[in-house]
Structure 1
Amino acid sequence: MAVEVVVEAAPGGAIQTDAPLIDAELAGRLRGGDEKAFAELLDGWSQAMLRVARGYVSSDQTAEDVVQETWLAVIRGIDRFEGRSSLRTWVYRILVNIAKAHRARDSRTVPWPALAEDDTAPTVDRGRFQSADEPYPGHWRRFPMVWPSPETDVVAHEVRDTIEAAVAELPQRQRLVLTLRDMHGYSAVEVCEILEVSPQNQRVLLHRARAAVRARLEEYFGRPSTGGGEAR
């Protein structure tokens, strides 16, 4: 089933990414050379696209090249968009294919550790949950404490740095799923279509990524966190 891209026409023809617009209408505007529509998409999607591209290639510069090539391919190929998926998913599939092509070229000359990533690493210590013979099997043994809110700009900056460092160290697929789901608000369905993973695999990758980031924040704050929440 096609997923509707989340954009809408605002007064004056501007495109926003927080309300529905039929993909065919947006695609029609792009086919018609609507520069404002294209500029709005460029501004709204490029940052997330850059993060995804960086998950496949070995440098920031190459990731920027991938995004640029993707937009050129979108301009040249918009007439081939048939609406079988959301426009956003279609654009991201182009991005991923171009990024993979760059990665293939890179892998001939430089090592690519992400290709051998291990998604079986442990997540949350099982000892923190009640066992089968306890009153609430699978529930927290001791409810985690809430992290304190950063009280200064310095602390807030340190927290952001901690999160960014944790995300950067994630295996490739975990990093991509977390980036799309939690940083840019994409749905599980969209992520599955973009990355070509199953719903179950998407949930596992998201859970492991959230657990890893949570663990780094626990280390920073020096006490247990509230948990990353269930992956859906």
Structure 2
Amino acid sequence: MEFRSLLAAAGGGDQAAWDAIVNEFSTLLWSIARSFRLDARDASDVVQITWLRLVENLNRIEEPDALPAWLVVTVRRECMQLIRRANRQQLTRHVEVLDDMPDPAPPVDHALLTDERDAALWRKVAELGETCFRVLRVLMATPPPSYKDAALALDMPVGSLGPTRQRCLRRLRELLTGKEGGAER
């Protein structure tokens, strides 16, 4: 087939020449687009864009006999551009999804704030006096001991451990909130 005269005629507005080119190469362009595993809609877009590129470049094609190769390169390039755009959009969607997800890791300053809070709490516990300090220290161990073991370690009757603990915690709450009462130390 003589592509030089077809391109010249199509460039001059001859619809029959344009139809002949489209009829000759449509199957080839579609097969290449489908070889990229594009769905029918995307393959159609790529083929249409390839035809558009040919219209835009009709007067610039220096080797009309290389028209089939030019169309093949153009349709492949359009397929790859479409795939790259789709991948970028997909990555962007994933990033947006990740932006909305809460970070399961603790905040960067979590350990520092926890250490400061714990140090402040133990300073207040120390203000309670020796008995409360010892009771709370033993009962707050990890893992916490049984009341029997705690009573033994503190040299206290098991029955007085609970009430002592309550008085110490009430006094600690008062110290932490600044509401001083008449609780025992």
TM range (shorter): 0.3 to 0.5
Q: Report 1 or 2 for greater relative contact order, CA contacts < 8 Å, sequence distance ≥ 6.
A: 1
Give 1 or 2 for the bigger CA radius of gyration. Answer: 2
Would you tell me which structure has more helix in proportion to its own residues?
2
- Structure 1-normalised TM-score? 0.36
